Amino acid sequence: MKLMLTKDYDELSKCGADLIMAQINAKQDSVLGLATGSSPLGCYQELIQRCQNNLVTFKYVSSLNLDEYIGLSPEHQQSYRYFMNHHFFNQININQNHTYLPNGVHPNLEQACIEYETKIDQVGPPDIQILGIGANGHIGFNEPGSSFSSYTHIVKLAHSTRQANARFFRSIDEVPTHAITMGISSILKSKKIILMASGQQKAEAIKRLLDGEKNEQFPASSLFDHPDVTLIVDKEAYELVE
């Protein structure tokens, strides 16, 4: 696992954008594995600017997102499809027909999981996967206790995760209770992985990750099974590491 330590979120976002841009410039039809949430947002903003300045093109790029809430349609402002369109896809020259997320409103959700895993194999696996990390060590929506051999599946969200995400809703009652997520084994199919962590609220998780113990109670520790992981961490998120 490589570690890139940055002074703040801004520098972390630029480092992430550098890695994604280098990937696309080396292979124009790269497949990106994407995440939602605060961690990659600055990186997406940076990539939007670079795309507008013709430093990178998304014309031939495809993407596969990690997860989607169950019960929120693509038009719902808190759905991950809406998040991705609004914060990234609508502002770059990507072909939106080549951007994929799990279908959280599929009439048969088990079938939706099978279809998404098939999509990962058909389109991907991603050349590069972006991850954030939950304070409890989740990656995607693989909560503590998730099997390291899981593929795309339905999860019940931990109360702490719903609490953390309630900031985007009017109240915690509106936060969906379930989601579809790539499993740990789906995530580990990616050729390269970048995990971004910023701020004090991630410091415990980063300390625990760098302690190096592999344990299903701490999903991010599954990344030790992958040969090409880069951790981009800012000073605040690193502050509990000796």
Please report, as residue ranges, which positions from 64 to 123 form the binding site for ligand F6R (by CB under 6 A). Answer: 66-67
38 binds ligand F6R (CB under 6 A): yes
CB of 96 to ligand F6R, least distance (A): 18
Tell me which of 46, 68, 117, 136 is the catalytic residue. 136
Q: Please tell me which residue in 46, 67, 68, 117 is annotated as part of the active site.
A: 67
- Report in angstroms how near the CB of residue 174 gets to ligand F6R at its nearest: 17
Can you tell me which residue has the tokens 């599946």? 153
Q: What is the pattern of x (binds ligand F6R, CB under 6 A) and - over residues 118-157?
A: --------------xxx---xxxx----------------
Please report whether residue 233 would count as binding ligand F6R according to CB under 6 A.
no
129: its two tokens: 């996967």
Which residue has tokens 């580990």? 188
**Which of 128/133 has CB closer to ligand F6R?**
133
Name 136's Cβ contacts closer than 8 Å, sequence gap at least 6.
143, 144, 158, 160, 161, 205
Q: How many degrees, rounded to 5, is the angle at CA 20 between CA 187 and CA 195?
A: 45
Q: Are 239 and 200 in contact (CB under 8 A)?
A: yes
Q: Which is nearer to ligand F6R, 52 or 90 (CB)?
A: 90
> Does the active-site annotation cover 86?
no
Q: Which residues pair with 3 in a beta bridge?
A: 231
Read off φ and ψ for residue 31, nearest 5 degrees.
Answer: -105, 120
Does the active-site annotation cover 87? no
Retrieve residue 215's tokens. 């344990």
Residues sharing a CB contact under 8 Å with residue 148, sequence separation 6 or more, in sequence order: 184, 185, 216, 222, 225
46, 68, 127, 143: the catalytic one is 143
- Is 208 an interacting residue with respect to ligand F6R (CB under 6 A)? no
Is 11 designated active site? no
Which sequence positions are flagged as catalytic? Answer: 67, 136, 138, 143
User: Which residues contact ligand F6R by CB under 6 A?
Assistant: 35-39, 66-67, 132-134, 138-141
